[in-house]
A and B are shown apart, each in its own frame.
Chain A
Amino acid sequence: MNIRLFVLSASFTALAGVAFGQGLSSATLLKQPTDNWPTYNGDYSGRRFSPLTQINSSNVHTLSLAWASRFAPAAGSAGATVPIKSTPLMVNGILYFTSPNNVWAVDARTGRELWHYEYPPNTGSTIGNRGVGMYGNWLFFESPDSHLVSLDARTGKLRWKVQIADPKLDYTPTVAPVVIGNHILVGIGGDHLDNPGFLESRDPETGAVQWKWWTTPRKGEPGIETWPDEYSSSHGTGQTWIPGTYDPEQNLYILGTGNPNPVMAEKSRKGDNLYTCSIVAINADTGKLVWHFQPSPHDTHDWDAVQTPIQFDGVIDGKPRKLIAQASRNGYFFVLDRTTGKNILTKPYIETLNWAKGIDAQGRPIPDPAKYPTTDGVLVSPSSNGATNWPAPSFDPDTGLFYVGTSRPYAMFYLTDTDDHPEGWGGRDTGVGGDPGALLAIDYKTGNIVWRHEWPSGNGVTHILTTAGKLLFTANGTNLIAFDPANGKILWHTGLMAALSAGPITYLLDGKQYLLIAAGDGLYSFTVNQSAK
């Protein structure tokens, strides 16, 4: 492990030395930066916790707008009304963010646009785009028509684009690439058709494939025994549409995978269906699977387990442990040992769960076959939208609490494809009600909910940021709200012109801490009014 670290840091130093004056060195990503937000989750841990304290619980009541700007795609273009779902990166005073087919660079001091790149019109899905990855002066994002596109961050000019999947297969490429060393880690989404899922590593200079890991096994590979045959496995999907987290000590990229296909018609895919709905640890240099844990064996409800698996070090039964935790879309909170993938804790975080018969010896929920979709419908909670979804959770090391935005929806799950060879979704669910949901603070040691804030309206599945300033930022509808992360007390709020649409970020710029919010087609920069020196 020490050797590994040495090799990594040596190569990173060399890289930083050669290349990039104003760009982003890969070595920066190994630190916990406060003057940058250089990767999707701010740092590799996925905690979305900032050690900054300039904005804090004592002065948050003075938090006020520094600037707000709108960044709308061309009117009438595909996806023009899709909100900014990307967590912006902030590197050297410049913000980089996306909406489908669009990338912007904006001066973080003023909100002024430096450049706006528009990808050529295409027929790909514009459901969302979750942002760019950055390496040196190069930016990387995914196009709706399944290309990895690289831009020069200084100019917004296209460097190259490479196809990552057949554009005609209706994948939904939305994930923000993650940069680890000289690897651009690229996933993909989309379960409309029964296309294979994958994670791949691309070369930052050429876009060439360094390695590719299929999320479902092929003939002879471990896990193939969890499918009827190679055919069902190779059409079993398991997409990779949310960035994972990275443990530099083990050189493991740990991410969640999506649901199996056909989504709701399970007849042709009996078995656990590895590695769908799984948390998988992949060696970042080789693309080899090191360990896995499956939150939803044999899923039939579209409960992707892609939610950010957050890494932190904690204490379990008096012993220090390297942990990773996920509040999964299926309604269960999981804590694993991130060196082995072994389960430490499994506990439901919504009370309405009704689809499992219990928890097995490995800590996995046991799906109740009576709740597989049927032609006349079965009532299940949560709905296919899940108890949570892709919006970013957060872990605050000061409180030791895991925060997640949740809801408690019910749906009727209907099987529509009774063929022995179902296709695509093979069924649908229709929502039949539920509650707006709650912001939850979960104790990782017990899975107990330490505090909750029930929302009077809206959708409780929303993004979270915590800071060492004893603050938790999240939103309910168009209300941006600061909570005390220790007890759930509301400390501050303000109204936005649209609902929060991406994870809030924070950084120091010119010695001043800013909170940056994406909502709809707007960015909002907030700071505290400091007394004159």
Chain B
Amino acid sequence: MKAWCYRIMFYPKSMTLLLAVAAWAQSPSAADNSNAASAAAIAGSKENPAAVNRGAKLFAANCGGCHGANAKGGPGAPDLVRSVLVLDDEKGILIAPVLREGRPNQGMPKPNLTEPQIADIVAWLHVQTYAADHRTTYTFLDVVTGDAKKGQAYFNTTGKCGSCHSATGDLAGIGKKYEPFALQSRWLQPRGARGATASDSPRSAIKVTVTLPSGESVSGTLDHIDDFNVSLFDASGEYHSFARDGATPKVEVHDPLKAHRDLLAQYTDADIHNVTAFLVTLK
């Protein structure tokens, strides 16, 4: 990696600092781990992916030595993802002059870059700020950190998962069907939707029985419930709707996934990671 070392001339404060600069420049992990811009960030930023890829290499080689390969800054060199100049930039109008001329009076020498190279670096920088700004583009990291054996034990004992599920039955191959992050999310909340509770969907798994004062009773799949109405689809698909007034009519809701919700108050984080590690093995 080609890294400028002019910073040393301007900030010769201590040996520690020199080492820090060196460590920063040489750390390869910064570029290729956590917040390396995802495809979603590149797409969202509307920059050309090829230009962004070229820009990443050009930035690492020409700028990363001081600003860090991920542009988050280094000792004495500003974080460019937080740079107001970078954030204010459109189409390189503000960034390009800095890349052409440097900022010698602030310790940044004139780089030796062609106009297309400058455009590539600009594109890459725009993706970095876009990525930081849009958390939906963030990439989840490794969730398989638990102990599969302990997870299996939890599954079979404490968690009582076996009372509804079987590793060789309904869950066979689950580790192949979902990548680990999706698997962890789905087993914690099988219904999937964020915050989903009593569902408004006719396809809900929630069953309900409504018993009228006359003793007549209707059962089916819950469609909607609030304080003033309950509605359902019976086994033949027919829709029924009832006004509610306090305890009349009697409404009994059976949510098969209530057990999952109740477990949320009981899991330790280790339980969760262990169970995920176990389920991942169910290929």
Stretch at the interface among B30-38, B95-103, B152-160, B162-170: B30-38
Is B247 positioned at the interface, with any CB of A under 8 Å from its CB?
A: no
Is A369 positioned at the interface, with any CB of B under 8 Å from its CB?
A: no
Is B185 positioned at the interface, with any CB of A under 8 Å from its CB?
A: yes
Closest to A477 in B: B226
B25-54 vs A, Cβ < 8 Å mask (1 yes, 0 no) = 000001001110000000000000000000
The reply to whether A434 and B82 contact each other, CB–CB distance below 8 Å, is no
Assembled-state Cα–Cα distance A490/B73 (Å): 58
Is B203 positioned at the interface, with any CB of A under 8 Å from its CB?
A: no
The reply to whether B68 and A416 contact each other, CB–CB distance below 8 Å, is no
With beta carbons under 8 angstroms apart, the residue of A166, A379, A409, A490 that contacts B272 is A379
Chain B residues whose CB sits within 8 angstroms of the CB of A458 once the complex forms: 226
Chain A residues whose CB sits within 8 angstroms of the CB of B84 once the complex forms: 166, 168-169
Q: How many residues of B contact A (CB 8 A)?
A: 54
Chain B residues whose CB sits within 8 angstroms of the CB of A481 once the complex forms: 227
Assembled-state Cα–Cα distance A493/B225 (Å): 15
**Overall SS of chain A's interface:** loop
Is A170 positioned at the interface, with any CB of B under 8 Å from its CB?
A: yes
Stretch at the interface among A109-117, A395-403, A423-431: A423-431
A366-379 vs B, Cβ < 8 Å mask (1 yes, 0 no) = 00001000111111
Is B184 positioned at the interface, with any CB of A under 8 Å from its CB?
A: yes
The reply to whether A423 and B269 contact each other, CB–CB distance below 8 Å, is no
Assembled-state Cα–Cα distance A163/B143 (Å): 44
The reply to whether A430 and B185 contact each other, CB–CB distance below 8 Å, is yes
Chain A residues whose CB sits within 8 angstroms of the CB of B267 once the complex forms: 379
**Overall SS of chain B's interface:** loop
The reply to whether A456 and B82 contact each other, CB–CB distance below 8 Å, is no
With beta carbons under 8 angstroms apart, the residue of A193, A417, A434 that contacts B138 is A417
Is A445 positioned at the interface, with any CB of B under 8 Å from its CB?
A: no
B212-232 vs A, Cβ < 8 Å mask (1 yes, 0 no) = 000000000000111110000
Is B135 positioned at the interface, with any CB of A under 8 Å from its CB?
A: yes
With beta carbons under 8 angstroms apart, the residue of A166, A432, A435 that contacts B189 is A432
The reply to whether A433 and B138 contact each other, CB–CB distance below 8 Å, is no
Instruction: Name B92-150 residues within 8 Å CB distance of A.
Output: 129, 132-136, 138-146
Chain A residues whose CB sits within 8 angstroms of the CB of B185 once the complex forms: 412, 430, 432
Chain B residues whose CB sits within 8 angstroms of the CB of A421 once the complex forms: 68, 72-73, 79
Assembled-state Cα–Cα distance A421/B68 (Å): 10
Is A436 positioned at the interface, with any CB of B under 8 Å from its CB?
A: yes
The reply to whether B264 and A416 contact each other, CB–CB distance below 8 Å, is no
With beta carbons under 8 angstroms apart, the residue of A381, A422, A433 that contacts B260 is A433
Is A415 positioned at the interface, with any CB of B under 8 Å from its CB?
A: yes
The reply to whether A376 and B143 contact each other, CB–CB distance below 8 Å, is yes
Stretch at the interface among B5-13, B58-66, B191-199, B234-242: B191-199
The reply to whether B140 and A433 contact each other, CB–CB distance below 8 Å, is no
Known: A376-B145, A412-B185. A432 touches B264 (CB 8 A): yes
Is A235 positioned at the interface, with any CB of B under 8 Å from its CB?
A: yes
With beta carbons under 8 angstroms apart, the residue of B129, B140, B264, B269 that contacts A434 is B264
Known: A168-B87, A193-B82. A433 touches B264 (CB 8 A): yes
The reply to whether B264 and A379 contact each other, CB–CB distance below 8 Å, is yes
Is A414 positioned at the interface, with any CB of B under 8 Å from its CB?
A: yes
Known: A169-B87, A479-B226. A431 touches B195 (CB 8 A): yes
The reply to whether A419 and B273 contact each other, CB–CB distance below 8 Å, is no
Is B188 positioned at the interface, with any CB of A under 8 Å from its CB?
A: yes
B77-94 vs A, Cβ < 8 Å mask (1 yes, 0 no) = 001011010011000000
Instruction: Name A182-196 residues within 8 Å CB distance of B.
Output: 192-194
Assembled-state Cα–Cα distance A436/B195 (Å): 9
4 pairs of A and B residues whose beta carbons are closest in the complex: A431-B194, A423-B132, A424-B132, A375-B141
